[in-house]
Chains A and B, each alone.
Chain A
Amino acid sequence: MSADGSTAGAVDRRVRLFVFGRAAEIGTVPTLDEIASALGEPSDAVTASLQHLAAGRVIVLAPGTTDIWMANPFSAVPTDFRIEARGRSYFGNCVWDGLGVLALLDADGVLRTHCPDCGEPLELAVRGRRLVEATGEIHFAVPAARWWEDIGFT
Chain B
Amino acid sequence: MLLFRSEEHVARWCAQRGLARGATLTPAQGWELARAWYADKLSPDWRRKTPAEAEAVFRSIGLEGAFWSLRP
Contacts of A136 in B (CB 8 A): 3-6, 27
How many residue pairs between the two chains, A and B, have CB atoms under 8 Å in the bound complex?
A: 152
Task: Decide: A138 and B39 in contact? CB cutoff 8 A.
Answer: no
Q: Is A43 in contact with chain B by the CB < 8 A criterion?
A: no
Q: Is B25 in contact with chain A by the CB < 8 A criterion?
A: yes
Task: Decide: B48 and A58 in contact? CB cutoff 8 A.
Answer: yes
Q: Which of A106, A116, A135 has the most CB of B within 10 A?
A: A116
What bracket does the count of chain B residues touching chain A fall in? 35 or more
Task: Decide: B66 and A143 in contact? CB cutoff 8 A.
Answer: yes
CB-nearest residue of chain A to B30: A138
Q: Is the interface of A mostly helix, strand, loop or mixed?
A: mixed
Task: Decide: B1 and A140 in contact? CB cutoff 8 A.
Answer: yes
CB-nearest residue of chain A to B63: A144
Task: Decide: A137 and B14 in contact? CB cutoff 8 A.
Answer: no
Contact partner, B31, options A13, A131, A135, A144, Cβ 8 Å: A131
Question: What's the Cα separation between A56 and B33 when bound, in Å?
Answer: 21
Question: What's the Cα separation between A138 and B34 when bound, in Å?
Answer: 12
Contact partner, B26, options A17, A58, A134, Cβ 8 Å: A134
Contact partner, A118, options B9, B35, B71, Cβ 8 Å: B9
B residues contacting A by CB (< 8 A) are 1-7, 9-10, 12-14, 19, 21-31, 33-35, 37-39, 41-42, 44, 46, 48, 54, 58, 66-72
